[in-house]
A and B are shown apart, each in its own frame.
Chain A
């Protein structure tokens, strides 16, 4: 069974950095892409970026590229998404998702449960 288990909800002050984890089981990990997505309250899904855990190569969306860092630890099958300089607009649920590299980058096969990040002073 494929499982993506994300870390728990976070409350951060404006300007702070948040780091969310996503532990994968039941999937290869090194032969997959791990994606991160943002969903603000009442809004749609927005792609933030992806990582190839096999070689650490990343692709970031233009909107987030100067504030997001996605990493992966192949020894623990865990991916991380770090978002810096948090502002009120970053208050959202963040999802990780996984797809076999053989399927390409266009979609997300399995999803994590989501992590709520609240930004408040």
Chain B
């Protein structure tokens, strides 16, 4: 059972906008910024968003937001290369640990 809750799977067509969500509680998302990681074909994860900040090299079709205890990653103008597993994470002060969502499998149709 993951500390953060993500959709198991999301799909979209090329060019579409999709939003992935990540729900936690006041001990984690409610108190800390959230990061998002992209993992393609079981390769090493890549950080695509942290604290709603886009790392260099990540396309600006990726954006992040947070409201209360829910964070979101939006991909505007979905591309075939965006097909991957996406994980959200943050810190949890009651667990004194970094916590993750179970991951969302994004399929580009």
Contact = CB atoms under 8 A, between A and B. Distances in A.
Interface string A58-92: 01011000000000000000000000000000000
Contacts of B55: 109
A44 B100 contact: yes
Contacts of B91: 104-106
Nearest to B96: A59
Interface string B34-52: 1101000011111100110
A53 interface: no
Nearest to B53: A103
Interface of A (DSSP majority class) = loop
Given A44-B2, A46-B100, A107 B89 contact: yes
B47 A44 contact: no
Contacts of A103: 50
A59 B96 CA distance: 8
Interface residues of A, number: 23
Contacts of A59: 96-97
Nearest to A105: B91
28 contacts: A44-B2, A44-B102, A44-B103, A45-B37, A45-B45, A45-B87, A45-B89, A47-B98, A47-B99, A59-B97, A61-B95, A61-B98, A95-B45, A103-B50, A104-B33, A106-B32, A106-B33, A106-B35, A106-B91, A107-B33, A107-B34, A107-B35, A107-B51, A107-B89, A107-B98, A113-B44, A114-B43, A114-B44
Interface of A: 35, 44-47, 50, 59, 61-62, 93, 95, 103-114
